[in-house]
Structure 1
Amino acid sequence: MNVLTAISALLAVWSLLRFLPAGWDGYGPLPYIIALLRFLWIPATACLAGAILFQDAPAMFIAAFVLLLIFTVNSPWYRRRNPRKPMADNGSSAHRESLKGESSRSTNQKSEKEQRKEAKSGGSCPVGTANGRFEPASAGTDAANASRNPSHETNHPQRRETGDADIMVMTLNCQYGHADASSIIRAVRQHDVTVLALQELSGKLVNELELLGLSRILPYHQFGLIRDTDNGGFNGLWSAQPPQDSYPDATDIKAASVPCMTLDGMDFYSAHTKSPMRGCRQWSQGITALGRLCPQSPAVVPFTGTNTDANHETTHVEQVAATHSTGQRMNTVIIMGDLNSCLDHPSFRTLLTHASLMDAGNDETHGRVASFPSWLRWPRLELDHILFSGGINAPDTFSLPIDGSDHRALLSRLRME
């Protein structure tokens, strides 16, 4: 076997790692090796050219196979072929239109320069929570009051009369809380964001967002619990509409807790699974465990309600399972966040398939919506995702830079079917 054939064979084995069973990608360097699969066309093309030049038939055949495989699994058709079970209408489609209507913004805002100056002088920021709800340090400011009293008349966005059932959502990894608060708020305003999911939050960043007026735009929020397993910070959700229910910790994964908001028949989650460098096994298990949030997933074990602990408080996942086991109508599921994985990872594909989820980035017909790293134009990976269950499609998904973060923000316009 000559050098070209050996290299081509190695590339072929590398490309086939994509088809490992779920969980097998949670060992050693495999998450990183698999993440680079889409770039194998570069060495494979070089091998094919060399094989043609030196008339090496075995190397030519193997390199051509690798190229065909890589281009097939990266084609828009293949990326969108993930099967999804249709979900029954939960009877709330008429109410969903009001979610978009709530996103009209108040124009009574301070100048950005004044807001930035006020945020910088905000002093120290605590990190305490009560049921996942952050208590800002500067309680006397309008923004802080809006956080704790969202029904205050001056903080309500004006409802817009519209028949448009689209809603705009946004997710961002804030890189240990270093993301620029004014840049986040600018994106929320410019793109009329209705639901915002942030990961790797810090107390300082939350205070800056409050002082700059995020609560006047999105007055309702739910934070995840702060705990030792946080990977870079805690997660949070903001909404223009008051939630019917919310949880600081919707499911148990060994990573930052996953807050949840229920808005007109839709369960929104902000999730951040561990990166492989924090533990490959926990990385894989955290991704697949998100399937428990979806009632149609095999990961959901029917809840019988027979817990013998008198002090046991029913978890969100147990309520999902209980509703599913009784045949009741289920909420639409929307999971947003940095999942540290892409479609080439078997664990991530298993989450999509078993939980009948679609990826907003895969709904795009012009290629992936890559978000990391923000400072490179190419190559980038799509580590950030907006996943959703039946009854929704994503006609418009894109990313944009946010100052101070190594991730780009991912935005998607979700349309109710």
Structure 2
Amino acid sequence: MTITAAPPVNAGRRRKRAGVTVLVWLLFVLPMAAWAVIRFGGWERGPLVQLFAFTPYVAAWAVVSALIVVFSRRWLGASIAMVAAALLVVGVLPRMMTDRDPGPAAGVEVHVMTANVLAGGGDVDTIVRLVRDHDVAVLALQELTPAIKTRLTEAGLDRLLPYSSLAAEVGTSGSAVYSRFPITGIGSRRNGGGFLQAYGTVQPPGAGPIAIESAHPVAPYDVRILGEWRADLASEPRPDPNGTPRILLGDFNSTLDHKPLRDLIASGYRDAAAADGSGLVATWGPYDGDPIPPVTIDHVLVDRRIGVRDVAVHGVPRSDHRSIIASLTVPAAS
């Protein structure tokens, strides 16, 4: 009887398969798993703070990565990649769900708007038109300068919103709150990052008083500034369930994938855009020509006693930010 030995294993094929396995793990499994763990642990630090603003894009890529790993038949890696993709999608997808958490429906309807005018360079005619066309009763501006304050007056803003709390400065540190209704308790405070935040209390007809503040924490543009960025977000006013309902709106230099902003919201706010299903509509990025993927760093945060009816985002020429207009339901006067 003749015994034939089994052909030797093709060492080249085995090395090639091992190389592909390493690439699959390095390119598709480990990066997505690490991103998901850091995102849900709130452990973004250093340069990761800026990168985590782009988590919605990573979540979409994580789904693609999981499919690639599944089709490669690396089953352990596929399991990890699918869990990572699921975690990231769960963190991002609810922002697209309409009426997820709109809050109270009964009360007085009030339209509010926020816009960063890029060191006073934003187009005033657009701002005034948006206020007029969308029946905006309260407007918060960031980076208000004396020059744009004058141009806004000349464009007719003061006729639409005759009351104001103004903190204009040359550069990027100024802010304002304009209102159709009288404003009491007006003032401004300078946060640790150097930005002024104008504030005041308004009382729409038929409603109780509402505290308004134009928010502008410092941007996490450098790892050396991250402590001030976190401190600015931590120092933003928290809602008092036994006090005046509060609306905090402006340029937060943070997305919902940054833990300091999530902590602020968890203190008693809801993000109006996320409640409306518009939470992934970007507000900052390429609007002044910079080749940056757009992200959502401008927000309207409302006290949980305030309901959200609708949110829309509109461009403002000559600014790198887009404006947000939110239709809200504030508590009726008791």
TM tier relative to shorter chain = 0.7 to 0.9
Q: Is the 8 A contact 1:363 1:393 kept in 2?
A: no
1:411 deviates by 0.5
DSSP 3-state at the match of 2:141: strand
TM-score by length of 1: 0.66
Q: 1:242: which partner in 2?
A: 182
**DSSP 3-state at the match of 1:372:** coil
**Match 1:270 to one of 210, 214, 218:** 214
For structure 1, the residue ranges without an aligned partner over 5 or more in a row are 87-92, 94-163, 297-328
* Post-superposition offset of 1:71: 1.3
- Once the 2 structures are TM-superposed, how far is the Cα of residue 293 of structure 1 from its aligned partner? 4.3
Structure 2 unpaired stretches of 5+: 1-20, 204-208
Indicate which of 32, 40, 53 corresponds to 1:11.
32
- Larger-gyration structure (1/2): 2
Structure 1 Cα separation of the partners of residues 38 and 100 of structure 2: 20
Q: Deviations over 1:148-188 (max 9, x none)?
A: xxxxxxxxxxxxxxxx8201100001111110111111111
Q: Residues 190, 41 of structure 1: CA spacing in aligned structure 2 closer, same or farther, 3 A cutoff?
A: same
- What are the within-5 Å matches in structure 2 for residues 29-44 of structure 1? 29-44=47-62
1:62 aligns with 2:5: no
The 1:204–1:401 alpha-carbon spacing in structure 2 relative to 1, beyond 3 Å, is same
1:333 to 242, 246, 256: 246
Query: Do the aligned partners of 1:225 and 1:248 also contact (CA within 8 Å) in 2?
Result: no
Q: 1:339 to 1:55 in 2, by over 3 A?
A: same
Report if aligned partners of 1:170, 1:412 keep a CA contact under 8 Å in 2: yes
Whether the 8 Å contact between 2:276 and 2:309 is mirrored in structure 1 is yes
State the TM-score, normalizing by the size of structure 2. 0.81
The one-letter code sitting in structure 2 at the alignment partner of 1:254 is G
Partners in 1 of 2:132 and 2:120 — Cα distance?
20
State how many pairs are aligned. 299
Q: Counterpart of 1:398?
A: 312
Deviates more, 1:257-266 or 1:368-377: 368-377
Per the alignment, residue 359 of structure 1 pairs with 271
Match of 1:281 among 221, 227, 250: 227
1:339 deviates by: 0.1
CA deviations on 1:36-88 (whole Å, 9 max, x unpaired) are 22212344234333323331112211221122111111122798888x9x9xx
What is aligned with 2:4? none
Measured after TM superposition, the shift of residue 386 of structure 1 is 0.6
Over aligned residues, Cα RMSD in angstroms? 2.8
Using the TM superposition, give the Cα deviation of residue 252 of structure 1 relative to its aligned residue in structure 2, in angstroms.
4.2
Q: Structure 1 residues 356 and 216 mapped into 2: Cα distance closer, same or farther (>3 Å)?
A: same
Aligned counterparts of 1:275 and 1:285: Cα–Cα separation in 2: 11
Match of 1:414 in 2: 328
Residue of structure 2 in register with 1:257 after alignment: 196
CA distance in 2, matches of 1:236, 1:209: 12
The CA deviation at 1:257 is 1.7
Q: Look up the equivalent residue of 2:248 and give its one-letter code.
A: I
Q: What does the per-residue CA deviation read over 1:103-132, in whole Å, with 9 as the maximum and x for residues that have no partner?
A: xxxxxxxxxxxxxxxxxxxxxxxxxxxxxx
Could you list the structure 1 runs, at least 4 aligned residues long, displaced by more than 6 angstroms after superposition.
77-82
Q: Which deviates more, 62-71 or 36-45?
A: 36-45
1:342 and 2:235 are equivalent in the alignment? no
5 Å-filtered alignment, 1:14-413, equals 14-21=35-42, 25=44, 27-76=45-94, 165-224=108-167, 226=169, 232-249=172-189, 252-264=191-203, 265-277=209-221, 279-290=225-236, 292-295=237-240, 329-353=242-266, 355-365=267-277, 367-373=279-285, 375=287, 379-413=293-327
Deviation at 1:390, TM superposition (A): 2.9
Please give the alpha-carbon distance, in whole angstroms, between the structure 2 residues aligned to 1:398 and 1:77: 14
CA distance in 2, matches of 1:187, 1:374: 21
Q: 1:169 to 1:63 in 2, by over 3 A?
A: same
Equivalent AA in structure 1 for residue 24 of structure 2: L
Give the superposition deviation at 1:345: 0.6
The AA in structure 2 aligned to 1:180 is: D
Using the alignment, how far apart are the partners of 2:114 and 2:41 within structure 1? 29
Q: Secondary structure at the match of 2:79?
A: helix
SS in 2 for 1:248: strand
Work out whether residues 198 and 236 of structure 1, in 8 Å CA contact, stay in contact via their aligned partners in 2. Answer: yes
Q: Which moved more, 1:188-197 or 1:240-249?
A: 240-249
- Code of the residue aligned with 1:5 in structure 2: it is W
Letter in 2 for 1:13: A
More strand by share: 2
Q: CA separation in 1, counterparts of 2:294 and 2:193? A: 26
Separation in structure 1 between the aligned mates of residue 24 and residue 167 of structure 2, nearest angstrom: 52
